[in-house]
Structure formats: C-alpha cells, structure tokens
Amino acid sequence: MDERPRGYREPAPPPPERFPVHLGSAARVSLLMSLGAIALSVLIALLTGRVFFLFIAAIGPALFYVLSGAPRMIEVHHDAVVIRSWLRAPMRLPASELSVHRRDGDLLFVRGGGTLSITADHFPGDSLDRCVGALREAGAEVRDERS
C-alpha cells in the first residue's frame, strides 16, 4: 500500500493484520429466515404450480446489512487502515489522519467529518482488542473512552 518505490536494500513493510467483522446474531437469524422464505417460495411454486412470493419476508435486517455496505474485514497496514465491505469498494484511510474511539459497546472511526461505527459484538473473541493495538502501532490516534 506504500506508493513510494523501494530499493532492494530497504526492508519490505510488514504484512497487514486482518480482523474479520461478523454479522450480528439478529442479522444471522434474519439471514436464515430470508433464505428459508426464498426456499419455501420455490417449493410452493414447484409443488402447486402457482407463484407465491414470500420474498417480502426475505427483506430483513440481514439483506439490509449486506446491501448497505457494512464492513466485513478491517486490514491494518503499517501506514493505513483498509475497511472492506460486502458490496462497496474498499475504503482506505491514512492512519495519520484517523482518530479511533474505543467505547464500551463499539469502535468508532473518525476522519474529517465522516464517522464509521462498528459494535463490539461484530468482533469475534479478542480481535477487537488486537485491532485497537494494531491501530495504535500503525499511527492512528486511539482514544479509550470506556467507563
């Protein structure tokens, strides 16, 4: 991710650390219900020959989560943070311009006037603490605002 060409004597930058962001439990249940509604619609259409749509039931929080461009992975490079989403292009944020706020229930990325909030439930295990540590090492301003 470094734009400056390097000579053969200069060490390569370290590989990025990757932190997956999972669907929340409500979105997972909604996704299963959405897939079930689609399967039931197809089954009814095959058995009865009539088209019966349960697709309205399929439109739920999981579909909204995926279509809204919710993050699926955070990559912390030596000089930047790359947030990869389900349907959007990756968002590259320079670490020197990024302010990260660690709160009780979420991780808040602030750059200029824009903010991105990811709840702690979306980080599996201890990956939230490891992500905050990697952000500090990359040069991002990290504020711990937990009470």
**Tens-of-pLDDT digits for all 147 residues of the chain?**
556 666 677 787 888 999 999 877 777 777 787 788 778 878 888 888 877 666 555 566 666 767 777 788 999 998 899 999 888 889 898 988 899 999 888 889 998 878 888 888 888 888 889 999 999 999 889 998 887
CATH, domain range 18-144 = 2.30.29
User: Position 22: which residue type?
Assistant: H
Closest by CA position to 123, among listed 78, 74, 67, 80:
74
Give the start-to-end residue ranges of the domains of the chain.
18-144
d(CA 39, CA 34): 9
β-strands 91-94, 114-119 pairing? unpaired
Q: What's the predicted TM-score (pTM) here?
A: 0.72
DSSP assignment string, 17-62 = EEEE-PPPHHHHHHHHHHHHHHHHHHHHHHHHSS----HHHH-SHH
